[in-house]
């Protein structure tokens, strides 16, 4: 609600933008790619996955033949029962990975979703977080200054509001970027999974699985970061009530932006944190 004071309204609008984007993040993280944005994007990715599977099956045979040629000293070795069974099992498993890869990937995603739900439930924060609100004491202090004294406040709140708004969009873009990567992995999965057919090329398939797992686990790191920020946000920045109003506002906005920068930094570095944790 507008207070009639431009400085207060500017800060409130910036904080509203931040709260809305933070709430949107909670909403996105609890969704599956299958229902995100009504499932329209997922349906397109599934169609692409089906088309790419044809290429994946062709590569499956190619990787299999190359693998056999590189690992076998001669075709006479293929006549040994244990070798033939080993090669046959590898081909069958690789074929299953290509054919049912999307189902296996979604099963892994649901496991991570369960982990995220557990974190939310244990933190007591389910589906929302503590909103950032301008304290009433700060509002009263701002409204008590005259016109000339408020000029420095305009600059402080304009810069602070701009920073908060920019950080809000950077944060939400990072979360959307995770979903886009999930779509990319789902669409092109048959190609790298086909590499499991050959022993020399299986490292490509392993790297794909590890990378996809890291993208899924990014959601858990982002949830933890949001939980930590929510605890911080529950206690608004402390300012000296005896200081000048400009100093109070600057201290409040500065500490608030610092906390927001920490959250945005953790969201941006979620992929790096996961890879360091898991040794990927």
Coil vs helix vs strand at 3: coil
Distance CA 273, CA 277 (A): 6
* Residue 193: band (very low, low, confident or very high) from pLDDT cuts 50, 70, 90: very high
How many CB atoms are located within 10 Å of the residue 134 CB?
20
Domain ranges across the chain: 6-278
Give per-residue pLDDT as tens, 9-64. 878 888 888 888 888 888 888 888 888 778 888 899 999 999 999 999 888 888 88
Look up residue 79 and give its two tokens.
């006549």
Query: What is the predicted pLDDT for the residue at 239?
Result: 65
The predicted-structure confidence for 229-278, as pLDDT tens digits, reads as follows 777 766 666 666 666 777 777 777 777 888 888 888 888 888 888 888 77
- Largest Cα separation within the chain, whole Å, is 95
pLDDT of residue 128: 56
- 141: nearest Cα among 280, 11, 54: 11
- 3-state SS string for 167-236: HHHHHHHHHHHHHHHHHHHHHHCHHHHHHHHCCCCHHHHHHHHHHHHHHHHHHHHHHHHHHHHHHHHCCC
The structure's pTM equals 0.79
Per the listing, tokens 């933190």 go with: 123
pLDDT per position as a tens digit, 65-91:
887 777 665 556 656 677 677 778 888
CB atoms under 10 Å from CB of 21, counted, come to 18
What distance in Å separates the CA atoms of residue 255 and residue 1, rounded to the nearest whole number? Answer: 24
- Res. 137: pLDDT tops 60: yes
Q: What is residue 184's predicted lDDT score, i.e. its pLDDT?
A: 92
């Amino acid at each position: 609600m507008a207070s009639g004071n431009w400085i207060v309204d500017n800060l409130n609008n910036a904080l509203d933008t931040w709260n809305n984007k933070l709430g949107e993040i909670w909403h996105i993280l609890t969704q599956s790619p299958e229902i995100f944005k009504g499932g329209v994007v997922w349906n397109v990715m599934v169609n692409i996955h089906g088309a790419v599977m044809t290429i994946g099956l062709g590569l499956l045979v190619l990787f299999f033949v190359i693998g056999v040629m590189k690992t076998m000293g001669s075709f006479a070795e293929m006549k040994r029962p244990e070798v033939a069974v080993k090669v046959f099992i590898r081909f069958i498993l690789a074929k299953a990975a290509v054919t049912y890869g999307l189902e296996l990937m979604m099963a892994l995603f649901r496991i991570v979703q369960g982990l995220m739900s557990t974190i939310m439930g244990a933190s007591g924060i389910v589906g929302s977080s503590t909103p950032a609100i301008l304290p009433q004491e700060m509002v009263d202090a701002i409204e008590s200054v005259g016109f000339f004294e408020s000029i420095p406040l305009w600059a402080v709140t304009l810069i602070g509001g701009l920073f908060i708004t920019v950080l809000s969009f950077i944060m939400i873009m990072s979360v959307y970027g995770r979903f886009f990567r999930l779509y990319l992995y789902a669409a092109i999965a048959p190609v790298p999974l086909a590499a499991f057919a050959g022993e020399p090329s299986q490292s490509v398939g392993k790297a794909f699985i590890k990378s996809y797992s890291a993208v899924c686990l990014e959601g858990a790191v982002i949830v933890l970061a949001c939980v930590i920020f929510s605890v911080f946000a529950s206690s608004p920045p402390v300012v000296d009530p005896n200081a000048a109003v400009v100093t109070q506002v600057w201290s409040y906005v500065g500490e608030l932006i610092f906390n927001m920068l920490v959250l945005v930094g953790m969201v941006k570095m979620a992929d790096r944190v996961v890879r360091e944790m898991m040794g990927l």
